[in-house]
Amino acid sequence: MSMFCFQCQETARNEGCTARGVCGKPPEIAQLQDLMIWLLKGISFWGTHGRDLGVSDPQTDLFVAQALFATITNANFDPDRFVSLIREAVERRDALKARAQAVCEAQHGAPCSANPPEMAVWTPADYDVVTLLEKGQHVGVMADPNLHPDVRSLRELLIYGIKGLAAYTDHAYMLNYTSDTLLPFVQEVLLATTDDSLSVDDLVALVLRAGEMGVEAMRLLDEANTSTYGHPEPTQVNIGVRPGPAILVSGHDLRDLEELLEQTAGTDVNIYTHGEMLPANAYPAFKKYDHFVGNYGGSWWHQNQEFESFGGAILLTTNCIIPVKDSYKDRLFTTGMAGWPGCVHIPDREPGQQKDFSAVIATAKASAEPQALEEGTIPIGFARNTVMSVADKVIEAVQSGAIKRFVVMAGCDGRHKTRAYYTEVAEGLPKDHVILTAGCAKYRYNKLDLGDIGGIPRILDAGQCNDSYSLAYVALQLKAALGLDDINDLPIAYDIAWYEQKAVIVLLALLALGVKHIRLGPTLPAFLSPGVTDVLVKHFDLMPIGTVEEDLAAIVGGA
């Protein structure tokens, strides 16, 4: 086996990618990522020990989160980037270790007696890829073949959950919204996954804490986005094109979009969103730009065709990148934790400055204009502030029976034909059911005309997967307004689509909020062992999706 990865929903045979990722991840990248995560566990040893001694290193804490972010599905495929992250991980770890040991000795009057595990001290002979791969192949998910399957499952569930949490936290940090608890928790979890003394029950308890911290990460990001850019407003987004050179911005990073809008203001270059950047069209701070045209295309997995027909420059600010075709490779730029070998990477911003997007802008000016894919508009901007501003109307509609049920269909989109299920469920729901969505899962139904209920659209799109907090917030506010004791007494069904690890932390957050009876599809995660699945079924009534007919009948019937 040259690699093993089962972190996403499209993993081979729903078991694991062992030769090459279905996503296009080659064994080389898988092993470099495994080595880096192993080293992040080593940093976490010294970070946690250091914190006990009053030693902190905020830059390294953020580095750990960003390096985890780089390993989420479809974020970064560039071996050079991982080699440099591995080098930085070793350097940061050793600096932290030296500081922690010095303080420990000063406080206790004796050399530090901490007993570091191998990942807290191992150093490569050099940073040649061959040297790193030699180690990387021995430290991955299957490194210990004798590990109890439930322990392996819970450790990986924790790691994937904190990858999502790290991504959300990093987005908040990019807007200068910080937290004293989130980054230390990331390290606490990483370290816990090396601790053989923890029982299955201990790990389950940590999974629930990860969900609670996930709620906090999403709350922080919501605060960062809405304080910086205003509350999303109901908006009809143009999905057609306009003449002129153009840049297509994809991924989830709003600050990158903001700086690009500023740097193109007053030029003849138009800006469009793609995939998960669609919700940016609802923010007051971005709507003011005349050259912010609208959204082009659908969700991430359509990008081969859509990036070709777009013709202009393309900026990937985060996941999801799919294998880049030569036809647009020289027009595609990455930034932040995203990367693709051979594509130009826009460097991080220097303190007090913006990122320099001049290369992207120059490419747009020298490239073709976008070819129209479709025409018309789609409604977005139904995040928590919009929904709560019509709360009276919503509550009245619920109490009168005009709205019988909300169906949360948030999450991710993906390539598999089985995801037609979500389109068919959306089409099949009775007219008194309202869909609450967030994330790119929406592209399975957001261009359907499902009408409205007394002016309330039947698809309420709260935004990116990053905006899932809005859905939890609305549920909690409705619970209070309707005087209910239990969140599960709300007329809300959950039919969640997952693909990558941000959806994992959203799921854990929902479980931590006490939500039960969640349908999860198109398949349950391959990293859930039968034993762990049993725990989730027993305590949370987590269910795989069934057929469209079965699930529609159950949802409409309140099950």
232: preceding bond cis by omega (within 30 degrees) = no
Q: Which of 43, 320, 346, 387 binds ligand SF3 (CB under 6 A)?
A: 320
* Pairs from 92-95 (Cβ < 8 Å, separation ≥ 24): 92/43, 92/57, 92/59, 92/60, 92/63, 93/39, 93/42, 93/43, 93/46, 93/120, 94/123, 95/57, 95/60
Please identify, using beta-carbon distances, which residue of 42 and 297 lies nearer to ligand SF3: 297
User: What amino acid occupies position 186?
Assistant: V
The smaller minimum CB distance to ligand SF4, of residues 10 and 258, is found at 10
Binding residue (CB under 6 A) for ligand SF3 from 31, 33, 153, 464 = 464
Cβ of residue 416: shortest distance to ligand SF4, in angstroms?
A: 12
- Least separation in angstroms between residue 6's CB and ligand SF4 is 5
Question: Does 465 help bind ligand SF3 (rule: CB under 6 A)?
Answer: yes
Contact track, ligand SF3, 279-308, x by CB under 6 A: ---------------------x--------
Please choose which of ligand SF3, ligand SF4, none residue 440 contacts, taking the beta carbon within 5 to 8 angstroms, the exact cut-off set by kind.
ligand SF3
235 binds ligand SF3 (CB under 6 A): no
The window from 18-26, 191-199, 417-425, 498-506 that contacts ligand SF3 (CB under 6 A) reads 498-506
Stretch that binds ligand SF3, among 56-64, 121-129, 387-395, 497-505 (CB under 6 A): 497-505
Assign residue 261 a region: left if phi > 0, alpha if psi is -120 to 50, beta otherwise? alpha
Residue 246 and residue 274 in contact, taking contact as beta carbons nearer than 8 Å = no
β-bridge pairing 292-295 and 405-408: unpaired
List the single partner that 17 binds among ligand SF4, ligand SF3, none, CB under 5 to 8 Å by kind. Answer: ligand SF4
Q: Is 276 in the site for ligand SF3 (CB under 6 A)?
A: yes
- Please give, one letter per residue, the 3-state secondary structure of 267-322: CCCEEEECHHHHHHHHCHHHHCCCCEEEECCCCHHHHHHHHHHHCCEEEECCCCCC
Contact partner, 465, from ligand SF4, ligand SF3, none, Cβ < 5-8 Å per class:
ligand SF3
- One residue of 175, 191, 260, 440 binding ligand SF3 per CB under 6 A: 440
Smallest gap from Cβ 226 to ligand SF4, in A, equals 31
Residue 182 corresponds to which amino acid?
L
Answer whether 287's CB lies under 8 Å from 230's CB. no
Among 126, 138, 93, 158, which Cα is nearest to 1's? 138
How many residues make contact with ligand SF3 (CB under 6 A)? 16
Cα–Cα distance measured from residue 551 to residue 544, given in angstroms and rounded to the nearest whole number = 10
CB of 437 to ligand SF4, least distance (A): 23
* Closest distance of CB 342 from ligand SF4, Å: 19
Q: Which residue is nearest to ligand SF4 (CB)?
A: 21
DSSP string, 344-389: EEEPPPPTTS----HHHHHHHHTSPPPPP---SEEEE--SHHHHHH
- Minimum Å gap between C-beta 410 and ligand SF3 is 9
Q: Give the contact letters, 38-77, x = binds to ligand SF3 (CB under 6 A), - = no.
A: ------------------------------------x---
Q: What residue ranges bind ligand SF4 (CB under 6 A)?
A: 5-8, 10-11, 17, 21-23, 25, 73
The per-residue DSSP string of 398-460 comes to HHHTSS-EEEE--B---S-GGGHHHHHHHHHS-TTEEEEE-SGGGGGTTTS---EETTEESEE
Taking CB within 5 to 8 Å according to partner kind, which of ligand SF3, ligand SF4, none is near residue 276? ligand SF3
Nearest to 195 by CA among 154, 165, 161, 229: 154
Amino acid (1-letter code) at residue 70: A
| Residue 5 interacting entry, from ligand SF3, ligand SF4, none, C-beta within 5 to 8 Å by type | ligand SF4
* Helical (H) or strand (E) element with 237: strand 235-238
Rounded least distance, CB 520 to ligand SF3, Å? 14
Q: What is the DSSP letter of 199?
A: -
Residue 412 touches which member of ligand SF3, ligand SF4, none, C-beta under 5-8 Å by kind: ligand SF3
Instruction: Please answer whether residues 378 and 369 qualify as being in contact, where contact means their C-beta atoms are separated by less than 8 angstroms.
Output: no
Q: Which residue, 79 or 251, has its beta carbon nearer to ligand SF3? A: 251
Which spans of this chain sit near ligand SF3 (rule: CB under 6 A)?
Answer: 74, 252, 275-276, 300, 319-320, 412, 439-440, 464-465, 499-500, 502-503
